[in-house]
Structures are given as C-alpha cells and as structure tokens.
C-alpha cells in the first residue's frame, strides 16, 4: 500500500494554511510532520483523513490488496486509517474497557483483545475504572490502546505523546516500530522526537520568526521533504 500526496494544499476558514506539499509513503514507512505552532500540522492530518476538504492537489492510497487476494479493500483513506487527534475520543463516565470494547465493535477488524491492548500500554488491571478517573498520561495511553484493538494499516497521529512520561514514550516508540515492521504506515505530527528510526521528516512552515517561532502566513510558502 502507498499513501501519495501530490501538491496538497489545505485551508482553514478560507485562509490557506499550507500548499504544495507532496510525499509518497510506502509500506512500513513513517513520516514525522514538524513545525512551529500554527504551521498547519493538525490541518494536514485532518485533510489526509478526509475530515477537512482538500483545497488543492490530491491525497490518495494506492495498491491496497483486493478482497479476492485475501486482503481487505479500503475504499478511502478514512476507512484505512486510525486518527488519533488531540482529544482521546473516550467517554469519561464509561470504564476504560467499555470504551475500548465499543471502539473495537464499531471500527471492526478486531486485532488485539481489550485486555491485551491495555497490558501493552501498561494499563493492565485498571480496565474497570471509569475513564474520567485516569490521569492525563493514562488517558493518552488508553487512547493509544484504541489503535491496537482494531487493525488499520495507516495511523494518523496528532501529538501522540502529549502528556506521556519518558517510559511510556519509549513504549509507544516500540509500538510504532512494530506497526511499521508489520507493513503499516504512520504519519505523525509532533514537536518531540518520537524515537522512530528511519522516519522521513516533513517540516511545515519555513524559517521561524525570532519572536514566536513562525506564523500561519509563513506556512504559505510551503514545506518540502527533507
């Protein structure tokens, strides 16, 4: 499978946030999207997922195995991706396990067990607690467990390690490495190094201004692969 973006542009409220972005990701490759605040990292991820309209250019997936060949067909990027946004998409009044079980049933393509996924992110034994009782880092880890309960080849991660401690960051880097090793693709917007070996980097927004580290306008000049 390949994720291809050509001359991609995105806008928010009528203002161009970025333009002329292009990249090709093959199986097992990861792309780190970096850049100052407001340079359009989150917008780029939402455009790729299809939550925001494509302003110009195109983004698509290619080479998905046909159903006849034993693979799954993904008619669109949205159906092939896990989107982990700023919010965790979990209900505070439901228990962690109930939340995960719901997303497992709703998303289909069950992969890991709920218990197994919770063990993997280091939350084993607290599945019965209401999600609202957890700390910020634990919530993030529970949201990461959501990536594991259903299988998706493409992970779109927006600041995935926000709120995680050092040990969990390491654990998450291993998870991402495993996903790539199994032929998955990752696009992650981040400020922090994620510890992914061999990841490409896409720097959004050109030179940061001395005072505030770049502005939305500067991003219009576009970013390029490094």
Partner 1 sequence: MLALFLRDIRLNIRAGGGALTGVIFFLAVIATIPFGVGPDLKLLARIGPAILWIGALLSCLLGLDRLFQADREDGSLDLLVLGNDRHMLALTVLTKCLAHWAGSVLPLVVAAPLLGLFMNMEPLSIGATALTLLVGTPAITFIGAAGAAVAVALPRGGLLISVLVLPLTIPVLIFGVSASYGATANPDPFLQPFLILAALTLFLAVLGPVSAALALRHGTD
CB of 157 to partner 1, least distance (A): 13
Residue 57 and residue 8 in contact, taking contact as beta carbons nearer than 8 Å: yes
> What's the token pair of residue 92?
């505070």
Q: Is 49 an interacting residue with respect to partner 1 (CB under 8 A)?
A: yes
Nearest distance from residue 73's CB to partner 1, in Å? 10
Closest to partner 1 by CB, 148 vs 196, is 148
Toward partner 1, which CB reaches closer, 132 or 224? 132
Binding residues among 3-32 for partner 1 as defined by CB under 8 A: 12-13
- Closest C-alpha among 75, 10, 48 to residue 155: 48
* Cα(220)–Cα(1) distance, integer angstroms: 30
128: part of which helix (H) or strand (E)? none
Instruction: Tell me how far, at minimum, the Cβ of 41 lies from partner 1, in Å.
Output: 16
Give the list of residues 6+ apart from residue 106 with CB closer than 8 angstroms, or none: none
Residue 141 in the binding site for partner 1 (CB under 8 A): no
Q: Is 46 near partner 1 (CB under 8 A)?
A: yes
Q: Which of the residues 77 through 116 are near partner 1 (CB under 8 A)? A: 78-79, 81, 83, 85-94, 98, 101-103, 105-108
The answer to whether the beta carbons of residues 134 and 96 sit under 8 Å apart is: yes
The backbone region for 57, taken as left when phi is positive above 0, alpha when psi lies in -120 to 50, beta otherwise, is: left
Any bridge partners for residue 200, and if so which? Answer: 31
**Taking the complex as a whole, how short is the minimal distance between the CB of residue 35 and partner 1, in angstroms?**
20
Q: Which is nearer to partner 1, 115 or 213 (CB)?
A: 115
């Amino acid at each position: 499978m390949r994720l291809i973006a050509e001359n991609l542009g995105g806008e928010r409220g009528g203002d161009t946030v970025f333009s002329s972005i292009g990249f090709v990701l093959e199986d097992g490759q990861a792309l780190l999207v970096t850049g100052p605040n407001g340079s359009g990292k989150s917008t780029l991820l939402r455009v790729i997922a299809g939550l925001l309209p494509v302003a110009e250019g195109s983004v698509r997936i290619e080479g998905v195995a046909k159903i006849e060949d034993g693979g799954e067909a993904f008619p669109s990027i949205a159906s092939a991706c896990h989107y982990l946004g700023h919010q965790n998409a979990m209900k505070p009044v439901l228990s962690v396990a109930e939340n995960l079980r719901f997303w497992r049933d709703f998303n289909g393509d069950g992969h890991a067990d709920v218990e197994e996924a919770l063990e993997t992110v280091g939350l084993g034994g607290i599945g019965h607690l209401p999600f609202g009782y957890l700390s910020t880092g634990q919530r993030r880890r529970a949201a990461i467990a959501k990536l594991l309960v259903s299988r998706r080849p493409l992970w779109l991660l927006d600041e995935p390690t926000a709120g995680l401690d050092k040990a969990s960051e390491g654990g998450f880097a291993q998870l991402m490495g495993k996903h790539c090793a199994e032929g998955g693709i990752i696009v992650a917007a981040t400020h922090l190094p994620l510890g992914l070996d061999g990841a490409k980097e896409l720097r959004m927004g050109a030179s940061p201004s001395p005072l505030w580290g770049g502005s939305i306008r500067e991003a219009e000049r576009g970013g390029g692969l490094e």
